[in-house]
Structure 1
């Protein structure tokens, strides 16, 4: 191997630009690769016999080193194609090619040195000037029979490979991929190397054609370089991925060795080793000396290949067979071939040993001749030794597999050998050891060239393709053409007969469609499948609660929906498939201001079984999974309830609607979409005081979504405030009276354990009211909306104490929902400013004067002022009733009075009056003030406000309420 050339700054650029460069691992493949589903490919493969039919083709392979001689393109018709029109350098009356002609289906021609590769200017011309290849192409097209079509063409400086196919075979060729490998200067220049084409015949059979020009020279270094060139071509050749007619079938491209048939031809440059050139010339000249004299005026015969020599006769006059005649050309060739470097290197495992074969060589060496002569060997000063430099080799898939299998066996034997030696066993003296391995001789073809048999009656070589089909190959002839005179090389050609099972596209498409349908059916049967059955509402007996559902609606229709009123629907999920189904509700795509999760905030979904315990997490958007066995069912309840004031405001304004789509995600199955909808009935909640005082009798529903008259004021205070405070006062009085009548039985007063009763729940938290209680509270809100009696919302068995507590809850919810509040933001800012001024000045103001100042400030908003006074008067009345009820009777006045517990509001005992009745009222007022301050006042939300300042603001509101609730005898 020659020393590497000196590195230059332009080397990297040449490496990237010149064909045949080493592959760059950083460069991704430009092929778009996808793969068929394995089951589809396998099923289609299993039925391949139904869509393949046996076909027969003849492939003619030709090779010629033109030595960059001008006019050589005109000789192609004289030896490679029958229909030659111009053959000026061949002898007169010399016909066209021998066997082949119009019966050939695929023509493959490989040329070397179509430009002068020793000239830098000529060598670089093909990158900018395609004329060198074009003149060959034009000449070949003129020589071919009509109807042949170009399959592929590839050039690497002086190397040129072109393939044509008949009009019958051309449609069967697909996945054509051409590439080149340069092995010349610096190991990658294209003055030496190979151009290669891969085609797929009939969608089943891969054919690879390699046209190469290996290193020249007769010394040992040149021989090693030829072997290196061949190994580089073998390892660096890569083709594009094969794409099947039904879709991509490969993830990456193939290299050499993956094909069914390969043909390696060209000027391989192997010489006759150890043979004096003059002796070889003298020996061969005996058979060629008359060729030039006989060429004029005589048609060409088989002697054109050197086959014809005067046969000797035995004593009886019967001609001797050529291989038994010591004077025959075949005997001479047989004596020279054992010195052929190519066969020697194949035998030694140095090159072309991995399954490559060559037909019997029964022709004169193809190199080197004087140009213009038929059989005159090199008469120049160099007087080069004649050699079979130009060759056509072929390899089958079966031969490559046999070599690979034997190589694996030999490698295993070598490793076993080494293991035995490592254990100290003497292999040389132990005849029972079977693993002795000699790398110079083992694993290679040990046959000499003399062992080739005559192939006149040769049987086809049968192989199994990569797809499991059966192909056959038969070499019909292999020869050289002596009467082509325009180069110092004689051209070679060979004809191969191939039988293969070809895909019939129409049949394959039909089978493919059947397989797809069957796989789809099997996949559908094997995939999880569920069905969702929705309960249909039947309506309600209540006139204002009719659902008005649409029977054609395919989703869940909740009908009319009111505040705090639960609506329930049931869905049944059944496993209708043949395998277990795991599913769950997936997260909804929501905006930033919406709550995440699978359900909207107004919907709750529960099922009649526990979710799966999963060892590993499922899809990120599914939080609870349920698994159903085939034919199993699960029932889920969908409960809709609007209880968020913000949602009520949006629904009243029409900004949002009660419509949603739930996604039921099935693992390895298809998603199911469950639409939801409901019709919102307007509520008096989340309105302004100014709006409520204009609503006529009959309530907000009577307006039917119409806005009330802006100018016509119906009430000085919202009618809802009148109704609620009046009902609470009445029921409180009745509750206290009932307790007074039953206290002797040991029943404890409702206010004893809760000083904030009835406005403070004794135990806050979820599920503090049972389902009947929720329904009654919802009924009270509906009574407000419809301006109907509260009594209709209560169950007959509901106690008076429970009724007053429910009404108190409704009152606080109503007041808290007011958009502007009883004390608006602007009013509170004025009041707080005055309070802060007095705090800083430490100014004392008498309670009556402070009340007057507050009322004067509120007078600018009459409806708010009236509402404030009405509510505080109402609270004071309730406090007085409870205080009065807590007084002991005359006969028990000496008993100590119990101060009501204040679980929600901490009251310091030392701040209370020493008079029990007064202390009781102080605790009640404090609780009421704390609870109602949040419901009555609206103020700016100041996020940066410190907790201490926020508590001080809250305390000012509480003191203002206390100011109006205290009377002269309960002050501090």
Structure 2
């Protein structure tokens, strides 16, 4: 888990937030990264990588040092790590007499390198301890492109407080960053750093290299106490160099100790670091991000360094100390304290094993006395190699001399735990390599000493605890291939055994017998640094890595560990940003062209009507959408759109949900529009809510019929008030293609429908259409302001003129219809005899014919034109009567407040309930007067109610003429006689009249009287009975011409 340092971390921090506890992964706390849609473009650009990459060479210096939480160690960083100082020529197997070193020494003129004795004598925590006048081991300074430094124990990790700290204290890193920055040449930039308690990894790059580094990701893994605390573990960084080469740097501190359990725990630590390290996804230069983050093993080059803590096994530590001090004593003069201390220890006969080794070292190495070399000769202050009197110094091989330092180191390395674990495939076996070790063990020394190994009571045995390993992508794959081949060989061997050819296989030397636990166990570790081989990177480029040197800085005195570094030369293909941008643009154009050619393309043709009602005076004539022109209430307007496939591939089209404002109805189209294709959809789904798609072959076309129909009264009111408009946009989706946007518009024509009585009485004489250019209520636009607001707000009529015209026309057409029926001598029952509610229900004319006439009636109402001028000549009186009567009922239902409003009805119903309670019903005449008095409190409503009930009574008298029947019978025609006739249960005319009155009352009670929407159940049924009675009582009041 990537650890973010913070001093404000609460004390109850969860385990999974502890530094280095667990690695992050896409499944923990975040969604999987989405792969960029530009992946195909990135691949195409990558295929032309040779055009925008250039071969570059860079030197990478990797350093590691366990500073043992000692103060003053930071003073030495610049000296050994940057300038290469502190390497002992005689103790490193390295000669500084080469050409590069000579050039470096020339810069120092005749300066002499400070002796070991002088260096140890002047040691101070406040000053660097590296030897003065040391020219340093090249390459140094600006010759290095990348510096990667791993430090261990920058704080005391043995402290319980530090080991159990749930966060990393960033304060100790400040002095290290400052010391490194001071030691580096100008222009170097810190590109990555990561801390885990006492572990600190920091990477710097030169000014030329830093801009080419990208996708930097750092993380940490704790393997200490409990398996997750940060006193042990690793800090890791991943960088991408030149957009091509992925490099990982691992700085670790593994479990200490010489016990077998400690060795196994070190192996476990390493396996945990490998499995739990996770980096952020890599971005390439084109903005494409990998789907998931990488771990160790996914890179091209990995450098693993730090205090791995592997020891020398099967050897007494005291013997190793004394054996190595035989060589380190040569660094001192006779009178120096360290020299005397070493000689004292060597003279102390505490180990018979050591003295046997010492006697063997003092024996002549050959018969020729000129080539002998003894321990006594070594005390002369010269190196073992320089005291040898060979005739050809250049031919001298220190490994052939049994008394040489290199021979001693080689013999000790056979006991190195790390090499043993690598050979037996228990740790660092899968392709990891290390340079040749020709330097003294890096641990453990007396602080302030060049060559005095631990002289404390513990007298810890020297070991190469500090190491620098590296691995290429090719190394890892080679190991995996080797394992695969071994598994295949074992499988074939087992098959042969099962087939009974064991003896034959044995005679053939058993080619496929392999035991990974034992085979190769006696092989010497191969630390060769062969010439670099081609490494094919993950991005497909060819790189080369070569180890230049691998040395310890023996003459750094400020810690009990000696610092260690290695320099690598990396040849890699780096991206030239300008060239890549050019290739990227070219490929983008080519892909766009290919994509466009392979993408479905359609052409939309709109049927533009040239009728007079499609002209919008408020916009230009070049409208590209669908123009429905003038739109009226309950009037169908249809437009056709042709969708043609003009591309080279099949096109699947369909309308999708459009974008709407909050509160607006969603869907493919607005509620007032219906869409119909001239063919079934691909899925043939009858559900109107389902996505309907239609596939067109190249050259094919489909016709789409768009029908506009406004019937919703709320919509009518909003349009009339200017609160809504007939404008919208349809979205035509082309699968794998672009979306097309089809605008819609229509111009609403004002209508008398949907208004209130109070608004209707203010409509000017020309009808509702005269309001077309007047300002809507509440509008602030002055351009449509009526010229006389005061007059406009005044009451124009006692009742809506629309009601007067409709009721008058119904009375007139009723008389004509009955006269025409008798005159023509039509056969069968008359409509009024067949249906009691006629002409308001039970129509005999066809709906289609009646619909045309209704539209003409509405047009006459809105424009104040005579109905007779608008009716088609072929229509008869019955058809016209039914159309006008049906329009009247629709008009009454559309009224916003009704003829009798909710408030008026509440008063009427209240009085009826009071009359019912006293059980003394009013006479019809008294009840009529009481109702009229109540309704007339709203004058326009009272007059309108009278208009309608009077008309209903007149029509009822026409269709059931009781008075004429009585007159033909010679019966009295006084009012009392009429009531007597009505009360007679045996009179058929009276029964029919009552049937007609009830039918009319049921229709018009519902159309005229408004009830609360909350009224339901039994209360609603009782109320329906009462409001029907209110209408019916007025129909019983007139028996003919209104007398």
SS at match of 2:831: coil
Contact 1:58/1:497 (<8 A) preserved: yes
Picking from 821, 825, 830, the partner of 1:749 is 830
SS at match of 1:339: coil
Contact 2:194/2:202 (<8 A) preserved: yes
Q: Could you tell me how far 1:781 is from its partner in structure 2?
A: 1.6
- What is the aligned partner in structure 2 of residue 806 from structure 1? 883
Q: CA separation in 2, counterparts of 1:624 and 1:93? A: 86
- What is the aligned partner in structure 2 of residue 63 from structure 1? 64
Picking from 335, 357, 372, the partner of 2:411 is 335
Task: Tell me the alpha carbon deviations over residues 238-259 of structure 1, each in whole angstroms, 9 at most, x when there is no partner.
Answer: 3343343443623443322122
Q: CA separation in 2, counterparts of 1:695 and 1:74? A: 98
Contact 2:170/2:195 (<8 A) preserved: no
- What is the aligned partner in structure 1 of residue 726 from structure 2? 658
Picking from 817, 820, 823, the partner of 1:738 is 820
SS at match of 1:610: coil
Residue 928 of structure 1 pairs with residue 1009 of structure 2: no
Residue 397 of structure 1 pairs with residue 473 of structure 2: yes
Q: CA separation in 1, counterparts of 2:983 and 2:49? A: 100
SS at match of 2:296: coil
Contact 1:312/1:320 (<8 A) preserved: no
Picking from 246, 254, 263, the partner of 1:223 is 263
Picking from 241, 247, 264, the partner of 1:201 is 241
Q: CA separation in 2, counterparts of 1:100 and 1:711? A: 97
Q: Could you tell me how far 1:467 is from its partner in structure 2?
A: 0.8
Contact 1:148/1:165 (<8 A) preserved: yes
Contact 1:566/1:639 (<8 A) preserved: yes
Q: Measured at CA, do residues 630 and 911 of structure 1 come closer, stay the same or move farther in structure 2, by a change above 3 Å? A: farther
Residue 509 of structure 1 pairs with residue 584 of structure 2: no
Q: Measured at CA, do residues 420 and 925 of structure 1 come closer, stay the same or move farther in structure 2, by a change above 3 Å? A: farther
SS at match of 2:847: coil
- What is the aligned partner in structure 2 of residue 361 from structure 1? 437
* TM-score calculated relative to the size of structure 2: 0.75
SS at match of 1:176: strand
Q: Could you tell me how far 1:49 is from its partner in structure 2?
A: 2.3
Picking from 251, 256, 277, the partner of 2:296 is 256
Contact 2:436/2:527 (<8 A) preserved: yes
Residue 104 of structure 1 pairs with residue 176 of structure 2: no
Task: Tell me the alpha carbon deviations over residues 324-383 of structure 1, each in whole angstroms, 9 at most, x when there is no partner.
Answer: 455544444433332322211110111211111112233444445555555555566655
Q: Could you tell me how far 1:697 is from its partner in structure 2?
A: 4.7
Contact 2:168/2:195 (<8 A) preserved: no
SS at match of 1:226: helix
Residue 468 of structure 1 pairs with residue 546 of structure 2: no
Q: Could you tell me how far 1:941 is from its partner in structure 2?
A: 5.2
Q: What stretches of structure 1 of length at least 5 have no aligned partner?
A: 1-9, 297-302, 894-909
The aligned runs of 1:663-674 (5 Å cut-off) are: 663-666=731-734, 669-674=737-742
Q: CA separation in 2, counterparts of 1:318 and 1:880? A: 143
- What is the aligned partner in structure 2 of residue 5 from structure 1? none
Moved more, 524-533 or 353-362: 524-533
Q: Measured at CA, do residues 508 and 743 of structure 1 come closer, stay the same or move farther in structure 2, by a change above 3 Å? A: same
Q: Measured at CA, do residues 964 and 828 of structure 1 come closer, stay the same or move farther in structure 2, by a change above 3 Å? A: farther
Q: CA separation in 2, counterparts of 1:146 and 1:866? A: 101
Moved more, 351-360 or 88-97: 88-97
Residue 477 of structure 1 pairs with residue 549 of structure 2: yes
Contact 1:588/1:599 (<8 A) preserved: no
Q: CA separation in 1, counterparts of 2:382 and 2:263? A: 27
Task: Tell me the alpha carbon deviations over residues 895-924 of structure 1, each in whole angstroms, 9 at most, x when there is no partner.
Answer: xxxxxxxxxxxxxxx999655555544443
Q: Measured at CA, do residues 409 and 11 of structure 1 come closer, stay the same or move farther in structure 2, by a change above 3 Å? A: farther
- What is the aligned partner in structure 2 of residue 47 from structure 1? 48
Q: Measured at CA, do residues 294 and 730 of structure 1 come closer, stay the same or move farther in structure 2, by a change above 3 Å? A: same
Task: Tell me the alpha carbon deviations over residues 206-238 of structure 1, each in whole angstroms, 9 at most, x when there is no partner.
Answer: 222233333344443333333233333333333
Q: Could you tell me how far 1:205 is from its partner in structure 2?
A: 1.4
Q: Measured at CA, do residues 864 and 65 of structure 1 come closer, stay the same or move farther in structure 2, by a change above 3 Å? A: closer
Contact 2:536/2:542 (<8 A) preserved: yes
Picking from 502, 512, 523, the partner of 1:448 is 523
Contact 2:245/2:572 (<8 A) preserved: yes
- What is the aligned partner in structure 2 of residue 785 from structure 1? 862
Q: Measured at CA, do residues 479 and 175 of structure 1 come closer, stay the same or move farther in structure 2, by a change above 3 Å? A: same
Contact 1:777/1:793 (<8 A) preserved: no
- What is the aligned partner in structure 2 of residue 641 from structure 1? 709
Q: Could you tell me how far 1:318 is from its partner in structure 2?
A: 9.6
Contact 2:42/2:286 (<8 A) preserved: no
- What is the aligned partner in structure 2 of residue 952 from structure 1? 1025
SS at match of 1:164: strand
Residue 265 of structure 1 pairs with residue 305 of structure 2: yes
Picking from 767, 792, 811, the partner of 1:699 is 767
Q: Measured at CA, do residues 695 and 351 of structure 1 come closer, stay the same or move farther in structure 2, by a change above 3 Å? A: closer
Contact 1:114/1:160 (<8 A) preserved: yes
Q: CA separation in 2, counterparts of 1:709 and 1:11? A: 80
- What is the aligned partner in structure 2 of residue 583 from structure 1? 654
SS at match of 1:959: helix
Q: CA separation in 2, counterparts of 1:214 and 1:826? A: 89
Contact 1:587/1:622 (<8 A) preserved: no
Q: CA separation in 2, counterparts of 1:245 and 1:503? A: 9
The alignment yields a C-alpha RMSD, in angstroms, of: 4.8
Q: Could you tell me how far 1:263 is from its partner in structure 2?
A: 1.8
Q: Could you tell me how far 1:497 is from its partner in structure 2?
A: 1.0
- What is the aligned partner in structure 1 of residue 331 from structure 2? 291
- What is the aligned partner in structure 1 of residue 610 from structure 2? 538
Contact 2:409/2:438 (<8 A) preserved: yes
Q: What stretches of structure 2 of length at least 5 have no aligned partner?
A: 1-9, 86-107, 109-113, 123-128, 337-379, 775-785, 970-981
